[in-house]
């Protein structure tokens, strides 16, 4: 009789997933568990002043905090947050793509490492210090204001601080490297022969970029958009330093509930609503991108069918 193949040991599947266990444990402890605690807090309540309880109580659960979140103030702040996040992400993409393309295709190999190091070096400095540096630079009596007045560009002090424009400038500066690196990696791994073949077939620089380079760079662009948009939408440090009252975002309102009002229940509910709204926007963007990809494939198939016939 032929020998029956031995079945795989039960421990085989465990050996396959073992390398991912540390990351899974880290994710569960530092993301899933805190998120679950926030969800529980969001249905709790703030104890009365002078009580022996802490800043949150969960012995009586309700949805009152979510009803309190449905206010015109939170809606206005969310719309401002969404606008700031979308504009900031778009500006990061517009600046990052040419930089990443130049580094990947134009800068010699011996200088590329130095250029990448120059981009990442500011990350070695505290996020808070880098943001405060912009407050010094943009101050009414700061070096930029004095230089512009000396050159005759401005007739008075620079009035940028404590505005939405200052927040926009700060978030673009802080998140720009996070957009550059995913796009750079995608472009660097791209085979240069593909662009050369497109040029040899008669396509110009613009046609080659739109037909070859940009489609192949879309995975890096998508990764950069996600890496930048999600944390930018939850920002509160940059608006607090550069935006003041006029540049506040939803994250500032949530932080004030935890740190100043000591109403952890309401702050947790606002945080859950903000996360849900951000996920909704990301989901809609993903669906729109998937639809555009389907249309692009159909258009390509139609074009191929026309040319073949």
CA gap 133, 98 in Å, rounded: 26
Report which of residues 292 and 285 the model is more confident about: 285
Report which listed range, 6-15, 45-54, 156-165, is most confident. 156-165
Reduce the secondary structure of 95-159 to three states and give it as a string: HHHHHHHHHHHCCCHHHHHHHHHHHHHHHHCCHHHHHHHHHHHCCCCCHHHHHHHHCCCCCCCCC
Within 172-297, strands assigned E span: none
Residue closest to 269 by CA, chosen among 26, 58, 30: 58
Residue 297's pLDDT band (cuts 50, 70, 90): low
CA gap 73, 64 in Å, rounded: 17
The pLDDT tens digits of the residues spanning 212-234 come to 888 888 889 999 999 999 999 99
Residue 175's pLDDT band (cuts 50, 70, 90): very high
Q: How much is the pLDDT for 300?
A: 52
Q: How much is the pLDDT for 303?
A: 47
pLDDT higher than threshold 80 for residue 98: yes
Assigned CATH for 30-285? 1.10.3720.10
The pLDDT tens digits of the residues spanning 146-170 come to 998 988 888 888 888 889 999 999 9
Q: How much is the pLDDT for 89?
A: 95
**3-class state of residue 8 by DSSP:** coil
Residue 296's pLDDT band (cuts 50, 70, 90): low
Q: How much is the pLDDT for 307?
A: 47
Asked if 120 and 177 touch (Cβ cutoff 8 Å), the reply is yes
Listed by start position, the domains of the chain span 30-285
CA gap 31, 304 in Å, rounded: 47
Residue linked to tokens 């639809």: 291
pLDDT higher than threshold 50 for residue 278: yes
pLDDT (mean) for 83-105: 94
Q: Which helix (H) or strand (E) holds 278?
A: helix 264-308
């Amino acid at each position: 009789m032929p020998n029956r193949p031995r079945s795989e040991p039960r421990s085989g599947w465990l050996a396959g997933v073992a390398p991912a266990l540390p990351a899974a444990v880290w994710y569960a402890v530092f993301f899933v568990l805190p998120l679950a605690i926030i969800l529980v807090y969001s249905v709790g309540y703030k104890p009365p002043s002078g009580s022996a309880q802490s800043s949150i109580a969960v012995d009586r659960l309700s949805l009152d905090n979510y009803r309190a979140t449905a206010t015109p103030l939170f809606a206005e702040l969310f719309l401002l947050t969404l606008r700031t996040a979308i504009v900031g992400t778009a500006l990061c993409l517009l600046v990052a793509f040419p930089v990443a393309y130049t580094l990947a295709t134009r800068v010699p190999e011996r200088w590329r490492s130095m250029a990448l190091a120059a981009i990442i070096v500011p990350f070695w400095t505290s996020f808070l210090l880098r943001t405060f540096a912009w407050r010094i630079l943009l101050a009414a009596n700061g070096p930029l204001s004095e230089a512009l007045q000396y050159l005759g560009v401005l007739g008075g002090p620079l009035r940028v601080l404590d505005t939405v424009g200052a927040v926009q400038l700060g978030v673009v500066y802080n998140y720009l490297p996070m957009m550059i690196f995913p796009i750079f990696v995608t472009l660097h791994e791209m085979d240069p022969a593909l662009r050369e073949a497109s040029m040899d077939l008669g396509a110009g620089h613009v046609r080659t970029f739109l037909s070859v380079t940009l489609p192949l760079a879309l995975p890096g662009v998508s990764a950069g958009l996600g890496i930048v948009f999600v944390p930018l939408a939850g920002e509160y440090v940059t608006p607090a330093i550069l935006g003041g009252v006029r540049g506040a975002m939803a994250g500032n309102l949530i932080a004030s509930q935890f740190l100043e009002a000591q109403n952890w229940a309401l702050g947790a509910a606002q945080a859950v609503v903000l996360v849900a709204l951000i996920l909704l926007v990301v989901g809609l963007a993903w669906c729109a991108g998937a639809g555009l990809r389907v249309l692009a494939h159909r258009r390509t198939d139609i074009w191929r069918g026309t040319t073949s016939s």
